[in-house]
Amino acid sequence: MKAYNPEFRSRIKEHLKKQEFMHHMGFNLDVIDVGRTEGRMKLEKIHNQQTGLVHGGVIATVADIVAGFAAYTLVGPKEGVVTGELKISYLRAAKGDTLYARGWVIKQGKKINFCEAEVYVLNGGNETLVAKATTSMVII
């Protein structure tokens, strides 16, 4: 994979300052690498459904974030990405202390980067895979 902007890390860090929804959710990117990102957030009551399980929309959102930023690491200095498609498979109910997600590009293209993501719930020292996603990130 090739990063067409050698300054992608600093560019992403600047864009992260403007990610109001991410800040509102409490989600932070911990790892920003070529074609790959990872992030986490402490789970709070606002992230849950009435049953006390993490809301599926929260899980889908963090999968979209890590996949999108993974795709963004590969685009040129004047390009961006938007989600063209997001398919998510919920594997099990999520309940825990922290939500952790990682995303990576599986195929880099000229107009679309194809990505995957995994979302885990961390509870104490245990890590449980709760969802997998595939995305197409359209380069704009």
The residues spanned by each domain of the chain are 8-139
In angstroms, the CA 105 to CA 135 distance is: 9
Q: Is the per-residue pLDDT at 50 higher than 90?
A: no
In angstroms, the CA 71 to CA 112 distance is: 9
Q: Is the per-residue pLDDT at 125 higher than 90?
A: no
Q: Is the per-residue pLDDT at 82 higher than 90?
A: yes
**In the prediction, which pLDDT does 124 show?**
86
Range scoring the smallest mean pLDDT among 24-28, 48-52, 66-70: 48-52
Q: Is the per-residue pLDDT at 91 higher than 90?
A: yes
**Superfamily of structural domain 8-139:** Hotdog Thioesterase (3.10.129.10)
Would you call 110 helix, strand, or coil by DSSP? coil
Q: Is the per-residue pLDDT at 65 higher than 90?
A: yes
Contact 36, 103 (CB under 8 A): yes
Residue 20 pLDDT grade (very low, low, confident, very high; cuts 50, 70, 90)? very high
